[in-house]
Amino acid sequence: MGQAVGIDLGTTTSCVAAVLDGEPRLLPNEKGNLVHASVVSFLENGNVVVGNAAKARLVTHPAETVKSAKRLMGRFYFAEEVKRAKEVSAYTIEEGLDQSVFIRVGDKRYSVPEISALVLREMKRIAELTIKAPVEDAVITVPAYFNDKQRQATRDAGQIAGLNVLRIINEPTAAALAYGFGKGLNQRVAVYDLGGGTFDVSILEIGKDVFEVLGTAGDTFLGGDDFDNRIVEVFVEQFKAQHQLDPREHLRAFATLRALAEWTKVQLSQKSSVEINLPSVLQVEGGKVLGFRSSFTEAEFQKLTLDLLQRTFVVCDEAVRSAAIAASALDGVILVGGPSRLPLIQRAVSQYFGKPPFAKLNPEHVVAMGAALQAHALSNPGVETMLLDVTPLTLKIEIAAGLTAPIIDKNTPVPIERTRVFTTTQDFQEKVKIRVLQGEERMAADCTLLGEFEFSGFKKARRGDVSIEVTFEIDANGIVNVSARDPATGKTATQVIHLSGGLTDAQLAESRSRSDTTQISPFE
């Protein structure tokens, strides 16, 4: 087996890491960057740009540049999340087959896994720069709350990118692995993950090799971008005062101020005040060039963003409640995500949980590092820490009156196979529809529908006299196969359920060949 890598496929940024000389290491691109924007931009000549160069094109080519595709991963078109994404995206989001989501760029349509595959392909390319050999085996991370459709879509993206996906693991689990958890005692930790546009908290119970998700909570529209926006608002007012001109009416000038705001925020993770002096922001009629001067202190920034920080703790309250544990009873808190590098966030987290968080490792890198460790363990049989993951949500089927019956409870270690026997609800019924759901609510309507299929050919008899065995099988990647069987007739539902978010083999092959021929231009 070649060198296996770990990939943190983030909403805003992605990283790739590998265990080299026994240590997990982030792998740089040719510019030395370790963190790459999860942005894909389509050029007129049919080529694509991925990463930080693509991020720059968000301003100049908004309709051809796709960011935050992960928000759409494995979602139905009618999902609330997709509606919100449509409102904030400059690119076109369309409905595809089976209520799936497609992204339109010019006259071409892309499935969401195809877009993510371009980011993964870039991670593969970057890894090969250091490893100097073809890289295929990879562990990819997903948020703990991702359901099976979303995990399957991520796996499809890996396959389209030409990767052999060894395992899909949870981001908080990866972060905990990077800190060496899972080797000894039983411990409970919180993972506070503030990203670019999303916030998640997970409470993990870690035994030897087993990572259980006791509770998760999140806000899918809260992250570093919101912190930038607060600074931008101040800059806009200052610019107006300096030049009697509204920079929001000038696309590029506004984009420059926005980039400056993000830069200012990042500076505040290293020092308590920043001086800003940009000689050229906007050229006005007559050729005059307008610059911008300002300064920012950590104290000002803290005051401006206090409510955002407080919102993260409302979510923490919820996670702690859902895990039925007191915040003070946790053994540790792990920081993940770029904004978690800000001292003001570290202080607030420390105060909330009553202990200093783990922040020794760079919160932007920990997820990829943990994924690399897992990839290394999976591809080197001698290596210890074989991580067992658990199903994040209960898997069930719909029964009479819109109710549900669980087949596999949440937090069951995978792989696993479970069978339950059901019967018909009507006399001499000829077929049943098996609706596969995921979630903790009792009513089917409140759970996520993963897929459905029809089963017929079982014994025809009075209701209650028919037995239908329903078997759920979850593999080590958290992907489910469902089958139905009548022990009396021996008839088995020939169709093993294909999760509706997943692509068919034919679609995968087509996407793969499309992706193989797409030229990625690392630089413009």
Binding residues for Mg ion (CB under 5 A):
10, 195
Q: Which residue has the tokens 């590998």?
A: 18
Question: In terms of residues, how long is the chain?
Answer: 524
**Catalytic residue list contains 171:** yes
Q: Choose between 262 and 331: whose C-beta lies nearer to ligand ADP.
A: 262
Checking DSSP bridges between strand 273-283 and strand 416-422, what pairing results, if any? Answer: unpaired
Name the binder of 266 from Mg ion, ligand ADP, none, CB < 5-8 A by kind.
ligand ADP
Q: Choose between 103 and 142: whose C-beta lies nearer to ligand ADP.
A: 142
Q: Choose between 82 and 222: whose C-beta lies nearer to ligand ADP.
A: 222
User: Measured from the CB of residue 6, what is the shortest distance to ligand ADP in angstroms?
Assistant: 14
3-state SS record for 23-46: EEEECCCCCCCCCEECEEEECCCC
Contact 390, 412 (CB under 8 A): yes
Q: Choose between 199 and 455: whose C-beta lies nearer to Mg ion.
A: 199
User: Measured from the CB of residue 337, what is the shortest distance to Mg ion in angstroms?
Assistant: 5
| Residue ranges that bind ligand ADP, judged by CB under 6 A | 10-13, 195-198, 223-225, 262, 265-266, 269, 337-339, 341-342, 364
Helix (H) or strand (E) holding 203: strand 199-206
User: Measured from the CB of residue 223, what is the shortest distance to ligand ADP in angstroms?
Assistant: 6
Contact 123, 157 (CB under 8 A): no
Q: Which residue has the tokens 């702690």?
A: 320
CB half-sphere exposure, 413, CA atoms < 13 A: 10
Catalytic residue among 114, 171, 205, 398: 171
Name the binder of 394 from Mg ion, ligand ADP, none, CB < 5-8 A by kind.
none
Q: Which residue has the tokens 């019967």?
A: 423
User: Measured from the CB of residue 325, what is the shortest distance to ligand ADP in angstroms?
Assistant: 25
Name the binder of 341 from Mg ion, ligand ADP, none, CB < 5-8 A by kind.
ligand ADP
Q: Choose between 179 and 210: whose C-beta lies nearer to ligand ADP.
A: 179
Contacts of 238 (CB under 8 A, 6+ apart): 292, 294
Q: 205: left (phi > 0), else alpha (psi -120 to 50), else beta?
A: beta
Catalytic residue among 55, 70, 124, 265: 70
Catalytic residue among 193, 219, 225, 398: 193
Q: Choose between 10 and 158: whose C-beta lies nearer to Mg ion.
A: 10
Which residue from 178, 159, 155, 175 is spatially nearest to 167, judged by alpha carbons? 155
Q: Choose between 212 and 364: whose C-beta lies nearer to ligand ADP.
A: 364
The amino acid that residue 156 corresponds to is: D
**Catalytic residue list contains 98:** no
**Catalytic residue list contains 193:** yes
Name the binder of 338 from Mg ion, ligand ADP, none, CB < 5-8 A by kind.
ligand ADP
Contact 115, 69 (CB under 8 A): yes
Contact 162, 7 (CB under 8 A): no
Name the binder of 385 from ligand ADP, Mg ion, none, CB < 5-8 A by kind.
none
Three-state secondary-structure class, residue 485: strand
User: Measured from the CB of residue 193, what is the shortest distance to ligand ADP in angstroms?
Assistant: 7
Torsion of CA 208, 213, 214, 217, to 10 degrees: 150
Name the binder of 342 from ligand ADP, Mg ion, none, CB < 5-8 A by kind.
ligand ADP
Vertex 328: Cα angle to 325 and 334 (nearest 5): 90
User: Could you tell me the sign of the dihedral formed by the alpha carbons of 361, 363, 368, 370, in that order?
Assistant: positive
Contact 233, 239 (CB under 8 A): no
User: Measured from the CB of residue 296, what is the shortest distance to ligand ADP in angstroms?
Assistant: 13
**Catalytic residue list contains 70:** yes
User: Measured from the CB of residue 67, what is the shortest distance to Mg ion in angstroms?
Assistant: 14
The set of catalytic residues is 8, 70, 171, 193
